[in-house]
Amino acid sequence: MAIPNKPSGQSWLSRIKTWLVTNPNNPGLETKYNYQAFHSSRYLFFFGGRIRTVKRNPAQTVSILLRNLKPLFPVGVGILIVLPLVLFLVYEAKWLWHHISGSVVILFVYGWIHCFVGLLRASYMDPGVLPRNIHITDNAERVGLPAEYNSSVTMPGYKRAHGDMTGSYKPQSEPEVQIKYCPTCKIWRPPRASHCSYCNVCIMNMDHHCRWLNTCVGQRNKRFFLSFLFGTVTSCIWIIVLSFVHIFAYRREHPDISLAHSLRDVGASLFLVIYCLLGVIFPGLLLFYHFMLGITGITTREYYQIPRGMDSFEFLRNIWASTFNTHSYWKNLMVQWCQPRGTSTVRMRDRYQQGDMRFESVEFGAII
């Protein structure tokens, strides 16, 4: 049950290896810090628990190659992002600096850094993990949970005096929130928190589990995710504009050179244009989608829970009648996008206290 703090008889090389990549499920692992004891989640830790990603899931029914590569998806995305930066700096930057202005290059690099930092922090840092077993009941492993904990509970919500989005005054009759007990984490979850089966933890204000980042997007990393999307879209658009400027200026100066020959000089610009046109589609759509979710005040999970048979007005009225909606596009956006990150509630770098129930997994029959 409680993991003993076994002193490690390893060589210094294997100690370094364990510090670099820590799998909390490894038997015989020394449990000095919280991250080494966090075996109930599906996290894999690096650099002494400072960054994390989700382990590959052997039970998933996708190809073996894809399963094993999942933790490396953010690295793949990172490579896709670094490539245009390198090409830009090597081929475009000099010409742009001398012919237009140095500031366009600097602006591009600024946007690109936002994108890259956003990607790294969104995929490798705490998305808002909630501690386990805070609301455990007596002898849960022996007698199971009380019957009252098995169904979701309806609580009164915030009653707003304003009307619906059509402007007509109609006081909200039944503002309610649904509270559900997570039987895996043994906590009563706040309404917008959710359990992620990939990460096997409950996440505060969970938006969705992102495959490309190989982690959940929740309260603590949503702004990095959005910064990543914004940075990608603006960098791509900026590259497209600047590369076209370069190509057109070149064509104007050398109207007699054929296309095939001019590829030698502005081939990189053309490649960047095509690359970024392709690259802006998915993040651009995703950004637009999150913007629409933001102004209507719902998360991705709530969007997928709304029944599909509804017509669009009924759909929007339902969203507007939700107790979470502030009835203002701007305020909704602020609430969705500017949630304070707060502090980490399950701190990985804290010293592990023997028997800390927040990291144990209580199943019917045993405490694992």
Pick 141 or 265: Cβ nearer other proteins = 141
Mark the segment that binds other proteins (CB under 8 A) among 53-61, 188-196, 265-273, 285-293.
188-196
* Under rule CB under 8 A, residue 40 binds other proteins: no
Give the Cα separation of 275 and 290 in Å (integer): 23
168 binds other proteins (CB under 8 A): no
**Residue 305 near residue 298 (C-beta atoms within 8 A):** no
Per-residue x/- marks for other proteins, 113-132, CB under 8 A? xx--x---x--------xx-
Residue 92 and residue 163 in contact, taking contact as beta carbons nearer than 8 Å: no
Q: C-beta of 266: minimal distance to other proteins in Å? A: 31
Rg (CA), the chain: 25
In eight-state DSSP terms, residue 182 is: E
Contact 74, 40 (CB under 8 A): no
Per the CB < 8 A criterion, the answer to whether 196 and 43 are in contact is: no
Q: Which stretch binds other proteins (CB under 8 A): 67-75, 93-101, 167-175, 262-270?
A: 167-175
- Of residues 16 through 35, those in contact with other proteins by CB under 8 A are none
Q: In what order do the strands lie in the sheet containing 21-22?
A: 21-22, 43-46, 51-54
Q: How far is the CB of 58 from other proteins (least distance, A)?
A: 29
Element at 21 (helix H, strand E): strand 21-22
If you count them, how many residues does the chain have?
Answer: 368
Among 43, 108, 224, 352, binds other proteins (CB under 8 A): 224
Q: In the complex with other proteins, which residue's Cβ is closer, 57 or 323?
A: 323
User: Which CB, 67 or 135, lies closer to other proteins?
Assistant: 135
Is 146 one of the binding residues for other proteins (CB under 8 A)?
A: yes
Verify binding: residue 345, other proteins, rule CB under 8 A. Answer: yes
Number of other residues whose CB lies within 10 A of the CB of residue 187:
21
Return the SS3 of 366.
strand
Closest CA to 229 of 271, 272, 279: 279
**339 touching other proteins, by CB under 8 A:** yes
Q: Which residue has the tokens 């409680």?
A: 2
As given in the structure block, the two tokens for residue 115 are: 């994108």
Q: Which is nearer to other proteins, 167 or 340 (CB)?
A: 340
- 210 noted as active-site residue: yes
Determine which one of 182, 196, 199, 210 is catalytic: 210
Q: Are 333 and 358 in contact (CB under 8 A)?
A: no
- Residues from 255 through 294 that contact other proteins (CB under 8 A): none
Q: Which is nearer to other proteins, 18 or 325 (CB)?
A: 325
* Interacting residue ranges for other proteins, rule: CB under 8 A: 1-2, 113-114, 117, 121, 130-131, 133-139, 146-149, 151, 153-159, 173-177, 179, 187-192, 204, 223-224, 227, 323-324, 326, 331, 334-335, 338-343, 345-346, 353-358
- Enumerate the active-site residues: 210
